[in-house]
Chains A and B, each alone.
Chain A
Amino acid sequence: AQSVTQLDSQVPVFEEAPVELRCNYSSSVSVYLFWYVQYPNQGLQLLLKYLSGSTLVESINGFEAEFNKSQTSFHLRKPSVHISDTAEYFCAVSEKGGSEKLVFGKGTKLTVNP
């Protein structure tokens, strides 16, 4: 079984500051990794994913995440945040070749202040 730990439940930052949202996972098999963003009272939107290949993956809006197998981590980073990045961010894993179920972390609330 897989599990996901998001160490920070809330991360407040100022606009244009860099941010890192941490995600660690546990699994006995190889996994796919995802970051989703959720705005209030909405569903989840895929931000980026790691399936294979390059360990650094990027989104179209400036976020990036790096898969680190030895540290079982998939931290999300952005060098300069905007007010509009304020949202809940969820890290998720899925077992390769497995049941397709996504296992989510508890989420990190990112609040960008002016």
Chain B
Amino acid sequence: KNQVEQSPQSLIILEGKNCTLQCNYTVSPFSNLRWYKQDTGRGPVSLTIMTFSENTKSNGRYTATLDADTKQSSLHITASQLSDSASYICVVSYVSGGGADGLTFGKGTHLIIQP
């Protein structure tokens, strides 16, 4: 069964600190892995997308890593800002054959940045 597990479920850190969010998956055949940021009351917004051959990808202060062997990904946030407070959702895409790639969503990590 395709599954995406994210940890921690929630996290509170002080402004300016770094943090790392984890995503473990059992999805196959793997196509790509995306991280989305979802602000409260808004739709998710794509941060990064990585294919099998990509180990790391950065988007400003966000850096995502992917280890396709262990089926793990992390999202590292550097020098956190209050605006980083949001839910971060890991989404793994699998090849479904004819039609769109299937998507398996994690439940997200709820991150709170405190001043």
A, B from the same assembly: no
